[in-house]
Structure 1
């Protein structure tokens, strides 16, 4: 069958290859000005290791292996706690001629942080040359777990016990609101400047002006006080915030631009972070797990001096897209009356394969648990079924309202239900659930564009082709409610995310397409409850 489609398939194949070649093109960026970074945040957790597992103790060998990998790019690491085996970082760093910004994790309970203080003091006395400074608490004011006065007392206590430089770290906006007693207690102020997470996010191309503004504000408020940038960086994957886009290219651009600025202004800094941390995806959404210079497998994401690609493996992704698209076309075996219809179906199949590849890539980036992975696998199956049935024009839309499909799904109706109607029910309810989640709790949720692009286009195009887009359906109350949910969520998400967030606007467009695909529910039949497709 595919041999007869060789002519129509060729432009579609070339289009897919061209699309992936464009996504994978190397981008020229200014090179880094120096081969060594001042300091890098280091958390040793790998795979399913997590700091929330209080029984976990990281083996010293694992830390030693990581430090050996980091040594060529930095002589300093910042750690955030002294428990779970992280205290071994100090002597291991000393053996390698490295220093440590030694963090003490301060939370709400003294019973948890007091042992860390004791351990940090002991490390400072045993390895004073290996410790660049001690950081008593990280973003405690942001979390609201202690007062500034309490933190000042802890800083003073550690400073008196160790004789080493002692500081506290927080977002620059919370330093602006910190009590003067805390500012006076620290030897220098450790401020976090993360343009992606700002209330008014800045794109990677505009981060240096934002950095200058934040530093200028701090210097104006606290003239003469020494500053260190304790955290700055950019994520390589995750959801957009306005026009702040996580990607490998944007991460490399920000870090290189920052290094140029830091060198020109003699800034002391610490990048967040050394390695991607999968456990953070459960806490901060997908974006939380992708701030590392190295991925979770300890592979460098980019070179500091060469062009950078978001998809260096694009030939493989193009091949997967073609395999999925051609496979769907081979299974569906659609009938085409002329070359124009064959061309349209060829493009539909291969674009569908490309969207499924993007969907699988996103699933790999966002999943946290095995259950998450299973859900993403089912969503991939959903996309494949919609694509195949759509190519066969075998999706039943207008003759089975949601109420009938739902009654069948919960075994209240034993009459046969077409697969297309059941699939339609699952897709529409799933999209509605995600839309409500994004409308009410969007900060850490991403936009599943590839997941719902195939159904949105398939439902709308096939209904329009059948001439039943505005045809009456039996009652259709559920469809009317769902279409209102789609339209309401689309409007709110577009307003809340703003006009610069192309990911959000694209998902809103898909919601409106799904709403339009069930627009026939707003017309009741005039004389009969039977559904008569338009001629």
Structure 2
């Protein structure tokens, strides 16, 4: 990062057509990590894994928390996929989170230089937190709010979330990029991660067919190492263990060229999630801070 905040975003971001292959991590913030922890773990994400971005997941309602995110991202040369969290309780707390985040994006002079995109999520269509026409209006209003900051807006969602709402084409038309939840473990015909490429292709092709050539990312993207009360397969043949978690990211790496050749410069992908302390079973690190798998994916091909 430069020693002082630039005066303009002109030529600041790499073109989205260069954003394919491995991009970084999903990172849950429900623990409201301290500023020191954010700096320490963002440094690890950048230096040890060659990440470009951190994709936020969950929520922290502590005053000034997003300013801490911006500070840690700036210090470690990372961009941020920010998130307005709806949650699963059907409440309207997301409105306050939306307003606080939009305010921080305007008030923090460095925020627009680290915030690559603003997401509504997570899986708001699948969870039916808002009808798709109302969610579309939220996207349109946020785009207008952020137009002077040039921060694009999207939703973070499964293919099935769109499909079960009749395709929600109005929402697909409104969003600036398509940020996809790619979780093939939950497919009804899932088995092992080594056999998951056709499942990935199936959901990806749906977005290619309906996305009007927009840039695509796999943001909530992974394979669990264990099942739990909230992580249950829909196929009796789906295997959750550490080798299959490893195998899924190996699979994406092996298909780097296939992902690169997708419309709009290819598909960039995140590893979900940074630590088992954030979401048990999905972490690259276990709950004691030890690496579960070897993650050294290509960032280009």
What's the secondary structure of 2:54's corresponding residue?
A: strand
Q: Which of 262, 275, 284 is 2:256 aligned to?
A: 262
Q: Which of 25, 28, 31 is 1:43 aligned to?
A: 28
Quick one: structure 1 residues 132 and 302, their matched pair in 2 at CA, closer, same or farther if it must change by over 3 Å?
A: same
- Looking at secondary structure, tell me which structure has more helix per residue: 1
Structure 1 runs not aligned, ≥5 long: 1-35, 45-50, 281-288, 306-535
Render the CA deviation track for 1:487-523: whole Å, top value 9, x for unaligned. Answer: xxxxxxxxxxxxxxxxxxxxxxxxxxxxxxxxxxxxx
Query: Which residue number corresponds to residue 63 of structure 1?
Result: 38
5 Å-filtered alignment, 1:176-325, equals 176=163, 177-238=166-227, 241-266=235-260, 267-277=267-277, 289-304=280-295
Query: Which residue number corresponds to residue 323 of structure 1?
Result: none
- C-alpha distance in structure 2 between counterparts of 1:223 and 1:100, whole Å: 25
Contact 2:27 2:273 in 1 (8 A): yes
- C-alpha distance in structure 1 between counterparts of 2:32 and 2:81, whole Å: 20
**CA offset at residue 206 of structure 1?**
0.9
5 Å-filtered alignment, 1:472-491, equals none
Larger Rg: 1
Query: Which residue number corresponds to residue 11 of structure 2?
Result: none
- C-alpha distance in structure 2 between counterparts of 1:90 and 1:213, whole Å: 36
Figure out how many residues of one structure are paired with residues of the other and give that number. 250
- C-alpha distance in structure 2 between counterparts of 1:103 and 1:168, whole Å: 9
**CA offset at residue 75 of structure 1?**
2.5
Query: Which residue number corresponds to residue 5 of structure 2?
Result: none
1:115 aligns with 2:96: yes
**CA offset at residue 130 of structure 1?**
0.3
Runs of 4+ in 1 over 4 A off after TM superposition: none
Render the CA deviation track for 1:343-376: whole Å, top value 9, x for unaligned. Answer: xxxxxxxxxxxxxxxxxxxxxxxxxxxxxxxxxx
Query: Which residue number corresponds to residue 473 of structure 1?
Result: none
**CA offset at residue 104 of structure 1?**
0.5
Query: Which residue number corresponds to residue 142 of structure 1?
Result: 126
5 Å-filtered alignment, 1:148-167, equals 148-163=132-147, 164-167=151-154
Quick one: structure 1 residues 233 and 152, their matched pair in 2 at CA, closer, same or farther if it must change by over 3 Å?
A: same
Q: Normalization by structure 1: what TM-score?
A: 0.44
What's the secondary structure of 2:240's corresponding residue?
A: coil
- C-alpha distance in structure 1 between counterparts of 2:136 and 2:217, whole Å: 18
Render the CA deviation track for 1:100-131: whole Å, top value 9, x for unaligned. Answer: 10000125333x11221122213323210101
Q: Normalization by structure 2: what TM-score?
A: 0.76
Contact 1:195 1:202 in 2 (8 A): no
5 Å-filtered alignment, 1:260-409, equals 260-266=254-260, 267-277=267-277, 289-304=280-295
**CA offset at residue 193 of structure 1?**
1.5
- C-alpha distance in structure 2 between counterparts of 1:271 and 1:58, whole Å: 19
What's the secondary structure of 1:146's corresponding residue?
A: coil
Q: Which of 105, 108, 112 is 1:124 aligned to?
A: 105
Contact 1:82 1:120 in 2 (8 A): no
- C-alpha distance in structure 1 between counterparts of 2:256 and 2:130, whole Å: 32
5 Å-filtered alignment, 1:409-428, equals none
What's the secondary structure of 2:188's corresponding residue?
A: coil
Higher relative contact order (CA 8 A, sep 6+): 2
Quick one: structure 1 residues 75 and 106, their matched pair in 2 at CA, closer, same or farther if it must change by over 3 Å?
A: same
